[in-house]
Structure 1
């Protein structure tokens, strides 16, 4: 058991009684017991409620079991809860906050939400309500955006703060240290919290001999981002729970059933708002997770694609954090050939492309013109006929697309639906495919959001996705190659782009 500073020793007028202090000490490793005894269930504002809901008990049991075991107590506990509407997420955050602040001296709790408005008008007041109704209400001083111990010597070290986030200002989350004590970090409406905030918070929760509990709650509205990955790529780090609102006491079952009747059990609306499941495709998402998942599961035999032309797509590094990516596509088959950290030596990159072009006997090479003009020029000097592709060009084969980037992504989407295969181990490409969203246009043309907009949403530039999409820039015919020594010379005016 870690050393603890004494629990509150208030003046006689503020000390509720010794029994409450003893209860708080006894519930240190049992938030479930605290939630049962710290509130007057069935009375006043809690009239009609006989205690926490079953799913809340389950979360509290998880925390209690984690803390009761000395082997896990000082390992970070990360819990993710995706749910439909009305299950009582704010109530659970309020009960957990009050438990931690009441049962641990010098506890530090940090709470954030998807927007400052949500935090200030909904999350903070709801959590404050549970403090106000608790048997330890008189231990704490509640302000609009903080809850502090009334002990004047410890009000700064024993507190809960409601902090709005910004991807450009994450210092508040970088300061999540409370060595030798306890940290409780709560995310409300986590699906819309910027990935950068997650990264900074994750890096800060590293104190040794410290109880660290990080719980994120949200409706699963987006099929990309860190909240989604709690249940997918990072599921080994998180204890995940997906809660159907219909299984929770007190929810409006009639309204929920109406949603099911109107839209269907497997519709995205019901998945998100009722079942606590992530949508197959978010509202503005261009390529659905279902299509990308299907592409991961496709297994091709060589005879199913060997007849098709070999095409290379090259997406040069966009910023210092982005790599240069080279992808190969042959019919329904695809493969990442190289990913290189940003390299401003165009000749070096051109030599690599030329080597891969020869090794795989590529029939065409397409290079993103945005940052690839120097590479293509070096290729020309080497006798190569690589084609530059201008993503912003509005001269496209299908007038339904706003520009070339939207067009080639549209062709890639069709390819996926037709049975295109991607490497199931390539998580980066998968995330690139499901990441971009569309931009609403009055003329109805399809336009993808810019890379800048994606980074504002916390998503990286989809370099691998762009590199694969480049292989759809133009129709390509397979070159006719003659065996060495036959004396037959290929036609010099052959156009590999048809």
Structure 2
């Protein structure tokens, strides 16, 4: 390569935007230009939530070709949830723009079934489908220059990101990730929320994109309404208030996070402590307090013995002068119950699998989550804790055939989707398992475990 071409490549390496304009003959939109300029920096971590048809696949194609042309030792893993997205959309888009390239780069690039190479260079672009059956899609790549392209990231299972954690954190590695923001949990969602400070975040709204026909925007607005989740996701590139099968609305939870309540707004209500007992070593045992519309996390731990957890529960029960102590008594929880009784406490047992006391729920777990959801709608407040938020919005639900009762997603099924057990949320939900009177209303004395009144408002 002569000196003039070398200087050109060096300039393009520092300016992906110039490469796209000069080598590919393209005209990036304002949205695309902002991303290309950010991509120039080694170690750039870019996440894009986008409406439909804004040109994110085109942006991925440009990035792949820029990497091959401007870096010698480069590897570009490209992943998406389906083979269709990779071969029929991304690969086709790369081939389309390859046809517009300047020589000699156009002739030097060769396409294979799942790889694109540059002649006389060790660099390549590799396609890997990101599925839970193949969590190693982004794992094992090593090069001086790494550029990860992750399309439709909202649909990629968490196992893929967990497996690739080491590769994604390689010093200097660039990450370009984009999706229609359909899910309210997971790696992509977190890149725009609790991990947002680690990412350069962009929103590709259809309204601001010259690639999108105004008629499309008008059609979605007329068919679904501008306040609908469909309009938010497909047009605005914003996360929905709630996914179709999500039980707890995300906007309701976020409105409750960190909400300040004056003590006179809840101080009259009974103090209820809920204890969620970990079933497996990786799960958390959690102790939550709720008093009327107020709630707080008192204790959480992984790998505690039933006796130690019971001791913490008894101590917190006394410290907060609680009116009831409700324990998830399933499995290991029975041992916690026994220990509390030996400490002269009277815990209330909660069995998640028992038949619901409400006619619209399958079991007691669905029942207490349903009551908790109603509590949020009435103005319930929770700590500003991202783990609690993720736990609350994580479970999905369905209606049973025939009876149309609410059935909450099992923890085992959440694990298959790459989600952790919602221990913090379960502990809060357990506080709704019994209707409790405050101590001042008790007709007698005692330690306060399980004073109930059918007429008492559980949400107060």
Q: Say whether the fold is shared (TM-score over 0.5).
A: yes
Q: Which structure has the larger Rg over C-alpha atoms? A: 1
**1:377 paired residue number:** 338
Shift of 1:61: 1.7
Matches within 5 A, 1:165-176: 165-167=130-132, 169-176=134-141
Q: Distance in 1 between matches of 2:320 and 2:449?
A: 19
**1:84 paired residue number:** 51
Tell me whether 1:221 sits opposite 2:176 in the alignment.
Answer: no
Whether the 8 Å CA contact 1:81–1:243 is kept in 2: the answer is: yes
Q: Which is further off, 444-453 or 133-142?
A: 133-142
2:311 to 319, 329, 351: 351
Q: Which is further off, 195-204 or 372-381?
A: 195-204
Q: Distance in 2 between matches of 1:422 and 1:190?
A: 29
Shift of 1:378: 1.9
**1:321 paired residue number:** 282
Q: Which is further off, 55-64 or 413-422?
A: 55-64
Q: Distance in 2 between matches of 1:366 and 1:212?
A: 48
**2:78 paired residue number:** 111
2:369 to 406, 409, 426: 409
Q: Distance in 1 between matches of 2:25 and 2:88?
A: 25
Does the C-alpha gap of structure 1 residues 145 and 493 become closer, same or farther in structure 2, counting only changes over 3 Å? closer
**1:53 paired residue number:** 29
**2:117 paired residue number:** 148
Does the C-alpha gap of structure 1 residues 493 and 436 become closer, same or farther in structure 2, counting only changes over 3 Å? closer
**1:177 paired residue number:** 142
Whether the 8 Å CA contact 1:112–1:187 is kept in 2: the answer is: yes
**2:166 paired residue number:** 203
Does the C-alpha gap of structure 1 residues 96 and 492 become closer, same or farther in structure 2, counting only changes over 3 Å? closer
**1:473 paired residue number:** 433
Matches within 5 A, 1:14-25: 20=5, 22-25=7-10
Whether the 8 Å CA contact 2:346–2:447 is kept in 1: the answer is: no
Tell me whether 1:255 sits opposite 2:224 in the alignment.
Answer: no
Whether the 8 Å CA contact 2:345–2:447 is kept in 1: the answer is: no
TM-score between both structures, scaled by the size of structure 1 = 0.85
**1:192 paired residue number:** 155
Shift of 1:21: 5.1
TM-score between both structures, scaled by the size of structure 2 = 0.91
Q: Distance in 2 between matches of 1:264 and 1:481?
A: 49
Does the C-alpha gap of structure 1 residues 491 and 459 become closer, same or farther in structure 2, counting only changes over 3 Å? closer
**1:496 paired residue number:** 451
Whether the 8 Å CA contact 1:176–1:205 is kept in 2: the answer is: no
Shift of 1:168: 5.7
**Structure 2, unaligned stretches of length 5 or more?**
454-460
Q: Distance in 2 between matches of 1:489 and 1:403?
A: 32
2:391 to 412, 432, 450: 432
Does the C-alpha gap of structure 1 residues 132 and 468 become closer, same or farther in structure 2, counting only changes over 3 Å? same
Shift of 1:400: 0.5
**2:458 paired residue number:** none
Aligned residues: 449
Whether the 8 Å CA contact 1:223–1:434 is kept in 2: the answer is: yes
Shift of 1:494: 8.9
2:359 to 393, 399, 407: 399
Q: Distance in 1 between matches of 2:418 and 2:318?
A: 38
Q: Secondary structure at the match of 1:460?
A: coil
**1:139 paired residue number:** 108
Whether the 8 Å CA contact 2:136–2:160 is kept in 1: the answer is: no
Tell me whether 1:291 sits opposite 2:281 in the alignment.
Answer: no
Describe the superposition over 1:107-149 as per-residue Cα deviations: whole angstroms up to 9, x where unpaired.
Answer: 1101101223322332223223323432322212211211122
Shift of 1:106: 1.8
Shift of 1:405: 0.8
**1:126 paired residue number:** 93
Describe the superposition over 1:332-354 as per-residue Cα deviations: whole angstroms up to 9, x where unpaired.
Answer: 111111001122x2222211111
**2:456 paired residue number:** none
Q: Secondary structure at the match of 1:163?
A: strand
